Amino acid sequence: MKKAIAIILTLALLLTAALSLAEGEKKLIKYSKSQGPYTELFEAAIIPILESKGYTLEVVETSELLVADQILQSGEVDVNVEQHTAYAENFNANNGGDLVPISVIPTVAAAIYSANHATLDEVTEGATVAIPNDAANTARCLAILQKIGWIKLDESVEISKVSVDDVIENPLNLELIEQKSLTIPAAITDYDYVVITGSVVYNAGVNEKYTALAQEDILPHLILQVVVKAENADSEWAKAIVDAYHSDEFKAYMEKENAPDGFWKGLWWIPDELK
């Protein structure tokens, strides 16, 4: 009888261990991919590191970042790498989400460009300036206009939440025109100046045709992040993604490919903790 009980207990322990192992070793990671360079960097540099650790990656194509967050929230995908903290917080607030950033990643700065003027000094009274119309990036681009001295924003409003209604000084009477980020590059000749986020700049090839006349100072809430649902933040596969971005392999890749003569040609701003 004692032997039988011992066998039963042993089998139960083995079954429990097997179930725990199965639950703790998720090896398939689904990620979303929309327009922009961030997932391209993930695919080029991070996926090979994850695959070397035994993970399999599966892509789900999306049309835009909002959709990427919606399918992340629903559990259709596990992770995306195309947004900053401000955007994730805005999504959570407006959609009842519980998305959380778990690691900073390299970021492409927003900047001001012009197809009609060679310098910022050419700005004139009533000049037209196109800016993104989504809340997080509207604030980001208004901050650039304040940085270069064209406008002043209400200091009582958090910089990540400012809107055109918070412009308290506009000495040149600039016409600030909000429109969808992805449509701005095609209309760049229609405006005196445009302010565009980094992913849009890259995707539209704006940086190949025009020189950035001013770039943002990237604040912590604007640094791109690895984003997952809160319940997955401490999972082994999520930690593996974080480790990959902090690995020596990734550092070596960025040192080579983000050099002026590398594939990315210096496009990326890299947070200190990843250097």
pLDDT in tens, 79-101: 999 999 989 999 999 999 999 99
- Check whether residue 162 and residue 248 sit in a common domain: no
What is the average pLDDT across 120-147? 95
Lowest mean pLDDT segment, chosen from 59-68, 134-143, 186-195, 207-216: 207-216
CA 249, CA 231: separation in Å to the nearest integer?
28
CA 21, CA 116: separation in Å to the nearest integer?
61
- Check whether residue 152 and residue 196 sit in a common domain: yes
Q: Residue type for 78, please?
A: D
For the cut 50, the answer to whether the pLDDT of residue 21 exceeds it is: no
For the cut 80, the answer to whether the pLDDT of residue 25 exceeds it is: no
- Check whether residue 85 and residue 7 sit in a common domain: yes
pLDDT classification of 135: cutoffs 50, 70, 90: confident
Higher pLDDT, 161 or 126: 126
- Check whether residue 231 and residue 96 sit in a common domain: yes
Lowest mean pLDDT segment, chosen from 17-21, 48-52, 270-274: 17-21
Q: Residue type for 134, please?
A: D
pLDDT digits (tens, 9 = 90+) for 180-199: 999 999 999 999 999 998 88
Q: Count of domains in the chain? A: 2
For helices 248-257 and 236-245, the axis angle rounded to 10 degrees is 40
User: What's 122's domain CATH number?
Assistant: 3.40.190.10
Higher pLDDT, 106 or 202: 106
Range picked from 134-138, 167-171, 218-222 for highest mean pLDDT: 167-171
CA 105, CA 205: separation in Å to the nearest integer?
21
- Check whether residue 83 and residue 120 sit in a common domain: no
- Check whether residue 207 and residue 244 sit in a common domain: no
- Check whether residue 203 and residue 242 sit in a common domain: no
Alpha helix stretches (DSSP H) within 123-185: 135-147
Q: What angle do CA 35, 245, 268 make, to 5 degrees?
A: 50
Helix, strand, coil percentages in the chain from 3-state DSSP, rounded to 5:
50, 20, 30
Give the end of a domain, one of 197, 217, 237: 217
Give the end of a domain, one of 175, 199, 217: 217
Higher pLDDT, 159 or 1: 159
- Check whether residue 172 and residue 188 sit in a common domain: yes
- Check whether residue 86 and residue 118 sit in a common domain: no
Instruction: Please list the residues that pair with 112 across neighbouring strands.
Output: 195, 214
| Host domain of residue 119 | 111-217
pTM, entire model: 0.69
For the cut 90, the answer to whether the pLDDT of residue 3 exceeds it is: no
Q: How far is CA 159 from CA 141, 154, 184, in A?
A: 10, 9, 23
**Residue with structure tokens 């701005």?**
184
For the cut 80, the answer to whether the pLDDT of residue 216 exceeds it is: yes
Number of neighbours of residue 247 by Cβ within 10 angstroms:
15
Tokens of 153: 């924003």
For the cut 50, the answer to whether the pLDDT of residue 22 exceeds it is: no
What is the average pLDDT across 222-230? 95
The SS3 of residue 128 is strand
Number of neighbours of residue 129 by Cβ within 10 angstroms:
22
Edge-to-edge order in the sheet of strand 175-179: 175-179, 128-132, 193-196, 111-113, 214-215
For the cut 80, the answer to whether the pLDDT of residue 75 exceeds it is: yes
Contact 174, 109 (CB under 8 A): no
What is the average pLDDT across 207-216? 86
